[in-house]
Amino acid sequence: MEQGQLEAPRLDVPHHEVQQVVELIIDNVNQLKDAQGLKVPAHLDSATTLFGGDGFLDSMALVTLVVAVEQAIEEKFGTNVSLADPGAMSQEHSPYRTIGALANYALQRLRAG
């Protein structure tokens, strides 16, 4: 597997679309916080680290968040996307490392149909 395949390329998509998905992810993080008593930073934005480094999700919470985001995207956009990724657990290339990276990755999958 080439490393390049693991990266979530930044897309040339309108800012408001990225922001929509960022907000959707933040909503789901907050739901997870309430449901599972997760310790979440007071302020969440696209630069917030989710996983790896100083991320606040452990691997199981990451699984729960990604599945919830898949379902929320389907409900909001009517498109079934898979956010499964071979680089998921990679510190450097994971598309789940920040809220913004996950939003970009989700949009990339949405565009791929």
Partner 1 sequence: MDAPVTLITGTRIGIGRHLAEHYLRLGHRVVGCSRAPVDWTREGYKHYEADVADEKGVKTMLSEIRRSYGHLDHLINNAGIASMNHSLLTPTSTVSAILATNVVGTFLLSREAAKLMKGKGYGRIVNFSSVAVPLKLAGEAAYVASKSAVVALTQVFAREFAEFGITVNCVGPGPLATNLIRSVPKQTIDRLLAQQAIPRMGTFDDVANAVDFFLRPESGFVTGQTIYLGGV
Choice from 37, 42, 82, 112 touching partner 1 (CB under 8 A): 82
Q: Given the rule CB under 8 A, which of 18-26, 44-52, 77-85, 87-95 is the region that contacts partner 1?
A: 77-85
Q: Is 105 exposed, middle or buried (0-12, 13-18, 19+ CB in 10 A)?
A: buried
Question: How many residues interact with partner 1 (rule CB under 8 A)?
Answer: 9
- Any contact of residue 74 with partner 1 (CB under 8 A)? yes
DSSP H stretches of helix in 1-113: 15-36, 59-77, 99-112
- List 64, 94, 98, 104, residue binding partner 1 (CB under 8 A): 64
Residue 64 tokens, joined: 């729960």
Q: Which stretch binds partner 1 (CB under 8 A): 11-19, 79-87, 90-98, 102-110?
A: 79-87
Q: Which of residues 41-60 bind partner 1 (CB under 8 A)?
A: 60
Q: Is 34 one of the binding residues for partner 1 (CB under 8 A)?
A: no
Q: 22 with 28: CB under 8 angstroms?
A: no
Contacts 24+ apart (CB under 8 A), 76-82: 76/20, 76/24, 77/110, 79/110, 79/113, 81/106, 81/109, 81/110, 82/109
Which residues here bind partner 1, judged by CB under 8 A? Answer: 60, 64, 67, 70-71, 74, 80, 82, 84
